[in-house]
Amino acid sequence: MRFVSILYIVSMLVVSCKSETKKETIQTSDVTEASEVIENPVTGNSSLPKLFRSHDNLFLSWTEKKDTTTTLFYSTYKNGTWTPSEAIISGTDWFVNWADFPAIAENNGTLLTSFLQKSAKGTYTYDIKLNVYPSEEKKWNKNLLLHNDGTKSEHGFVSMLPSGDTSFFVTWLDGRNTMNGGGHDAHSEHGSGAMTLRSAIVDAKGTITERTELDARICDCCQTSAAQTENGPVVVYRDRSETEIRDVSIVRFVDGTWTQPQTIGNDVWEISGCPVNGPSVSSLNNNLAIAWFTAVNDVPKVQVVFSENNGESFGMPIQINNGFALGRVDVAMISNTAALVSWMETVDDTTLIKLVKVTHNGVVGAPKIISKTSAERASGFPQLEVIQDTAFVVWTAITDDASTVKIATQPLNTL
């Protein structure tokens, strides 16, 4: 793969989507962490956390690994406490990747989770499996195959939302058309096909309908993100043009049909491989906020844009980072005109998780440091949600021989 400078080679070593076991040591500096780390239900060698907010409750999923077995857990935060952790499903044949974490969502008592299971011996041959917990039956329906293409290819980077009373909208990256080339564009050349973006509806019984292709050519290993608007769901993702421009795009469900992809920000970032740094979207009423990472001309940035019309149009991008941004963003709207953005950046050889408030008219608050972290891949992607007057950030803290899921809170009135 061709890279344009030494600086960018270094940044790609940080965000490459290859798995890696080597640990690196980050230097520390005199950094004050503003947030409060709280007790949580996670134990053992844990990683890949995901947060989902439903009204005033939080749902947390994560994985724990023991020997060769990986187990998917979840817990609920309600009335100020976490419920005891519950194991959903375990396996020895899962595809466990630092950037492609299981998803979780809730809809009126019905839960939906996902994980990745290897479908063949190839490095990048794996399927998306779902687990559904219907509110009426109160029993998990496990190991449901999301896609029906039958190919031994990549499927992953799932986002899910409530849809209707007890169903879910699910979107994912689907590599069924990439088979001729043998895999991942960050590691090997593709054949005639490209990675696609697809969606479906999953009901409380696990029945999967309305499978739809949303975009026929997208970036191969960047996270998707989805939000519900007054018109219907929207999906944001890293696109991929024929000339290897990999900017962020949005597709919207309007009047019963999906729009054509619309570019966000117009960065014109030309890069021959996947940067493994997807966007994030959050909605409130008819308002949207989208945050993303870009590195045009080897200048890394974290930016956010706002929409006041369900994503039909957007304002100008607002840059929020001050240091060397690594990206790994998340966003949560806190009012019709403001959002919180979390991201990772390196300052004086120390990698930090930061949180900031930004308004639609470009006012960026003073960033708060949530925690020191590591730039290596095992630290994963911090997750952000807001309930009532508090922001919750969850991430993976790593040591030489283990990893642990941590959760911190930050009062909104301090931002």
Question: What residue segments make up the domains of the chain, in order of their start?
Answer: 6-414
Give me 338's structure tokens: 């403001």
340, burial (CB in 10 Å: exposed 0-12, middle 13-18, buried 19+): buried
pLDDT in tens, 240-280: 999 999 999 999 999 999 999 999 999 999 999 999 999 99
Average pLDDT, whole number, for the chain? 91
Residue 171 neighbours by CB distance under 10 Å? 26
Q: Which residue has the tokens 């998780």?
A: 353
Kindly state the DSSP code that residue 265 receives in the 8-state scheme.
Answer: S
Edge-first strand order for the sheet with 318-319 is 280-284, 287-294, 301-307, 318-319
Q: Judge contact between 276 and 260, C-beta under 8 A.
A: no
Secondary element (H or E) of residue 13: helix 6-15
Average pLDDT over residues 329-342: 99
3-state secondary structure of 196: strand
Kindly tell me if the per-residue pLDDT of 411 is higher than 60: yes
Torsion over CA: 80, 83, 88, 93 (sign): positive
- The amino acid that residue 262 corresponds to is Q
Q: How far is CA 398 from CA 68, 70, 268, 329, 403, in A?
A: 19, 17, 35, 19, 4
3-state secondary structure of 181: helix
Q: Which residue has the tokens 């990206």?
A: 327
pLDDT in tens, 375-400: 999 999 999 999 999 999 999 999 88
Q: What pLDDT score does 9 carry?
A: 35
Q: pLDDT band at residue 401, thresholds of 50, 70 and 90? A: confident
Which DSSP string corresponds to 91-139? ESSB--BTTB---EEEETTEEEEEEEEE-SSSTT-EEEEEEEE-TTT-S
pLDDT in tens, 9-23: 334 433 444 433 333
Cα–Cα dist 221/195, whole Å: 9
Average pLDDT over residues 198-207: 98
Q: What pLDDT score does 192 carry?
A: 60
Lowest mean pLDDT among 122-126, 166-170, 186-190, 295-299: 186-190
Q: pLDDT band at residue 138, thresholds of 50, 70 and 90? A: confident
CB-based contacts of 350: which residues, under 8 Å, 6+ apart?
Answer: 26, 27, 28, 29, 31, 372
Q: How far is CA 316 from CA 52, 267, 319, in A?
A: 28, 12, 10
Q: What pLDDT score does 31 carry?
A: 60
3-state secondary structure of 389: coil
Q: pLDDT band at residue 33, thresholds of 50, 70 and 90? A: confident
pLDDT in tens, 91-130: 999 999 999 999 999 999 999 999 999 999 988 999 999 9
Average pLDDT over residues 159-182: 91
Q: Judge contact between 293 and 247, C-beta under 8 A.
A: no
Q: pLDDT band at residue 180, thresholds of 50, 70 and 90? A: low
Average pLDDT over residues 303-325: 97
Average pLDDT over residues 217-222: 97
Cα–Cα dist 110/132, whole Å: 7
Edge-first strand order for the sheet with 195-202 is 155-163, 167-174, 195-202, 208-218
- The amino acid that residue 179 corresponds to is M
Q: What pLDDT score does 32 carry?
A: 65
Q: Please tell me the CATH code under which domain 6-414 is placed.
A: 2.120.10.10
Q: Is the pTM for the entire model greater than 0.75?
A: yes
Q: What pLDDT score does 4 carry?
A: 36
